[in-house]
Amino acid sequence: MFWVLYTVFNYVLSRIQALSRYLFLSEYIAKYSLAALVFYANIFVILPRFYSVRRIPALVSAEVLLFAFIVALHRLIYWYILPLSGYPKVTVYDFWHSSAIMSWWWFQYTLFGFGYWYAQESIEKQKSINELERKQSLEAQKKAELEKEKLIAEQAYLRAQINPHFLYNVLNFLYYKALTVSDELSEGILTLSEIMHYAFREGNGSGLISLEGEVEHLKNLIKINQFRFGRQLQVRFECNGDYYGAKVIPFIFVTIVENAFKHGDLLNEEHPVVISLDYDDINGQVRFYTRNQKSKTAAEFSSGVGIANLKKRLEQWYRDRFVLEVLETDEDYSTLLEIRL
C-alpha cells in the first residue's frame, strides 16, 4: 500500500509541477516498481544474509549484481514494455547517462532499505533485551521469594526443635503412669510418642525418608485416630510391593490421609475409608490412593492449603515425575498420587 501511495503521490506532484511534456502513469509504476525491488531485495535478502554476519565482500558482490540486474531490467522495460502502453519508444540509448541516473536511483533506495532494515533490527534487538531483562527480573523475584520461604521454613523448623527431648520424656513419663490406669490410654500415649519421635527424627535428614518409615507413620496415624473414635473407625489400609529401601520426601502421604479423615464418613461400615500404597520396585514408582465417603454432617471448612502446599513440595522435588489428582463426586472424594522416584 505504501508503494502505491508513493507512486501516485510522485505522479500527481510531477503533473502539478509539469516537469515533463510526457507524463505516463505506466512509467511511474515501472520506476517505483524498480525502486521497490531494490528496497525489498536489500531488507529481505542481501542485508540479512550478508551484512548481519559481516560478510562484506559477499555484500558488495550482491549489490553489484543487483545494480546490473536493475539496469538490464530498466532497459527492457523502457525499450519493450512501456511502448505497449503508449509511452514514446526509445530509439537512442545513452548508456552513460542512463547508468548515472540508475546509479543514483539504486543508491538512493539501497540507502533507504539499509536505514529501514537497521531500524527494524535495532527495535527487535531492543525488544529482545527488554524481554531478557524482564525474564531476569522475574527470576530474581522468584529467587527472592524462594529465599524468603526457605528462611520462614528454617525459622519454623527451629521453633519446632525447642527441647524435643523434654516432650519425649514427658510422654514417656505419662506412658509409664498410664500403664497402671488403662492399657488403652498407655497405648495411645505410646503411639503419640512414636508419631512425634518420627516427626522430629525424620525431619533432620537429607530431605528424603524411607518409604517403610512413612508407612509405619501412617499406621500410627490411623491407630491414634482409632483411639479417638473408640476403635470404630472404618479404614482399609493396604500396602503392596517390596518398598524396603525406597525413599521419598517426608510426610507427603500424611496430608492426603488427614484430608480423608477430616472430610470423610469414618464410621460407615459399607463404605470404609480406603487407603492403598503400591510400589513398583522395577520402575521405581509409588502409587498412593485414598477414597472416602462424604460425611453427612456439616463439613469442616477447608482452605485447600494442605493440598496446595503438598503439590508445591512435589513440584520442587519431583518436577514432572509425579501426578496428583483430586476428584470429587456427589458421594465421595478420592485422591491419587503417583511418583517416579
**163 within domain boundaries:** no
Q: How far is CA 35 from CA 4, 143, 287, in A?
A: 12, 53, 69
**246 within domain boundaries:** yes
**151 within domain boundaries:** no
pTM above 0.85, yes or no: no
**253 within domain boundaries:** yes
Range of the domain at 7: 2-135
**102 within domain boundaries:** yes
CB atoms within 10 A of CB 253: 23
Please give the DSSP secondary-structure letter assigned to residue 84: G
pLDDT digits (tens, 9 = 90+) for 272-307: 999 999 999 899 999 999 999 887 764 554 445 678
Which CATH number characterizes residue 274's domain? 3.30.565.10
Given CA atoms 30, 32, 33, 34 in this order, what sign does their dihedral have?
positive
**208 within domain boundaries:** no
Q: Which three cell numbers mark 180?
A: 497402671
**192 within domain boundaries:** no
Please identify, among 88, 118, 135, the residue that sits at the C-terminal boundary of a domain: 135
Mention every residue, 6+ apart, whose C-beta is less than 8 A from residue 321: 339, 340, 341
**216 within domain boundaries:** no
Please identify, among 135, 151, 181, the residue that sits at the C-terminal boundary of a domain: 135
Mention every residue, 6+ apart, whose C-beta is less than 8 A from residue 39: 109, 110, 112, 113, 116
Tell me, yes or no, whether 27 and 130 share the same domain.
Answer: yes
Residues 219/221/225/230 CA torsion (nearest 10 deg): 40
Helix, strand, or coil (residue 46): helix
Tell me whether strands 332-340 and 285-293 are parallel, antiparallel or unpaired. antiparallel
| Domain total in the chain | 2
Per-residue pLDDT of the chain in tens (341 residues, 90 and over written 9): 787 888 777 777 777 776 555 567 777 888 888 888 888 888 888 888 888 777 888 888 888 888 888 888 888 887 778 787 777 776 666 666 677 777 887 888 888 888 888 888 888 888 889 899 999 989 988 888 888 787 777 666 655 555 566 676 777 777 776 777 777 777 778 777 777 777 766 544 567 888 998 999 899 888 888 887 777 888 999 999 998 889 998 888 988 998 888 888 888 888 899 999 999 989 999 999 999 988 776 455 444 567 888 888 898 889 899 999 999 888 889 999 999 98
Please give the DSSP secondary-structure letter assigned to residue 1: -
CB atoms within 10 A of CB 189: 23
Please identify, among 135, 166, 194, the residue that sits at the C-terminal boundary of a domain: 135
Tell me, yes or no, whether 119 and 233 share the same domain.
Answer: no
